[in-house]
């Protein structure tokens, strides 16, 4: 009985210790949450702005944005500017086309998922033509024969399926997103064949080259826009958030409204 009592006491003590620990952890979590999450404001006008921005994780997102802009000024901008100055436009265009062609399977599957056969046909033909006549994707021959480039991604497909975007997120290295589109981004990466190049093959160096050159190209293409964003807005974070949210919605609306016939123009 005494033993039972002692165990019970120990259990009680452990329970207390555990509870204290849990409470401390919960407090720490709450502290962390308030650092990453803004509670809804009480003022009706502020609340309307809060809802319109759809950004409850603003404190965390702003930190990520600052980190991104710090990296941009320290490294990405100089690299982008160097790339802009020293790499001729035709080579930059070829690298862009290469990146875009190798991402085409993800676009094709997204078009299929969105139930847009005409777009799926376009992306399929773009992949076939640019991989063959376009020398593994370096030249955009498909555009010349009427298969123009378009972007459809798994996030847009989920939007068409009625999945809500969830709160806004700013992901360092990736940029503006939301819960739905972040999952879509991961799915898109999974649907991109270059990510499955086996280790030990010569293609791995191509994969590295592809990613690095593609990234340099993106830096070069986006430096002017980011400079302009910083120069012309008082709150670049809020400016980018609003512009991205509107642009994303307009892409989804355009995809939804694409009811073109399956047969190509020449048929």
Partner 1 sequence: MMLRHLTRRTILGAASLIFLAPGLAKATPADDATAFVASFGGQLLNILNSHAPLTQKRDALMPLLRANVDVQGIARYCLGRYWKQATETQQKIYLALFEDVLLNAVTAQMGAYEDISFKLVNSTPSPAGQKVTLQITRPHHPAINMTAVISGTPPKVVDLFGEGASMRMTQRSDYTAYLTRNGGEVQTLINALKRQLGR
Contacts with partner 1 by CB under 8 A lie at: 45-46, 49, 53, 89, 228, 231-235, 237-239, 241-244, 246-247, 249-251, 254
CB of 250 to partner 1, least distance (A): 3
Residue closer to partner 1, measured from CB, 49 or 195: 49
- How far is CA 248 from each of CA 20, 146, 171, rounded to the nearest angstrom? 46, 25, 16
Residue closer to partner 1, measured from CB, 9 or 228: 228
CB of 164 to partner 1, least distance (A): 19
Sort strands 175-178 and 168-171 into parallel, antiparallel or unpaired: antiparallel
CA-only gyration radius of the chain, Å: 25
Nearest-angstrom CA–CA distance, 100 and 180:
22
CB of 246 to partner 1, least distance (A): 4
Residue closer to partner 1, measured from CB, 205 or 253: 253
**β-sheet bridge partners, residue 178:** 168
Residue closer to partner 1, measured from CB, 90 or 202: 90
Nearest-angstrom CA–CA distance, 217 and 34:
38
3-state secondary structure of 176: strand
CB of 122 to partner 1, least distance (A): 17
DSSP assignment of 55-121 equals -TTHHHHHHHHHHHHHHIIIIIHHHHHHHHHHS-HHHHHHHHHHHHHHTHHHHHHHHHHTT-HHHHH
Residue closer to partner 1, measured from CB, 99 or 191: 99
CB of 125 to partner 1, least distance (A): 20
């Amino acid at each position: 009985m005494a033993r039972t009592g002692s165990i019970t006491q120990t259990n009680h003590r452990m329970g207390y210790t555990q509870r204290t620990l849990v409470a401390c952890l919960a407090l720490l979590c709450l502290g962390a949450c308030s650092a990453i999450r803004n509670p809804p404001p009480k003022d009706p006008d502020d609340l309307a702005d809060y809802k319109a921005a759809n950004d409850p994780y603003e404190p965390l997102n702003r930190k990520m944005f600052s980190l991104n802009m710090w990296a941009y000024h320290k490294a990405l901008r100089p690299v982008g500017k160097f790339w802009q100055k020293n790499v001729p436009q035709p080579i930059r265009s070829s690298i862009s086309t290469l990146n875009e062609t190798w991402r085409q399977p993800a676009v094709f599957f997204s078009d299929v998922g969105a139930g847009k056969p005409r777009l799926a046909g376009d992306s399929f033909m773009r992949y076939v033509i640019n991989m063959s006549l376009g020398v593994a994707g370096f030249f955009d021959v498909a555009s010349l024969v009427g298969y123009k480039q378009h972007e459809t991604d798994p996030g847009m497909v989920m939007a068409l399926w009625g999945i809500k975007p969830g709160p806004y997120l700013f992901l360092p290295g990736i940029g503006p997103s939301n819960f739905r589109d972040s999952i879509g981004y991961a799915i898109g990466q999974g649907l991109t064949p270059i990510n499955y190049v086996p280790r030990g093959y010569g293609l791995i160096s191509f994969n590295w080259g592809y990613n690095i050159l593609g990234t340099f190209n993106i830096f070069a293409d986006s430096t002017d826009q980011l400079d302009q964003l910083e120069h012309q807005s008082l709150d670049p974070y809020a400016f980018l958030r609003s512009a991205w949210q509107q642009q994303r919605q307009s892409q989804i609306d355009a995809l939804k409204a694409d009811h073109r016939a399956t047969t190509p123009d020449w048929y």
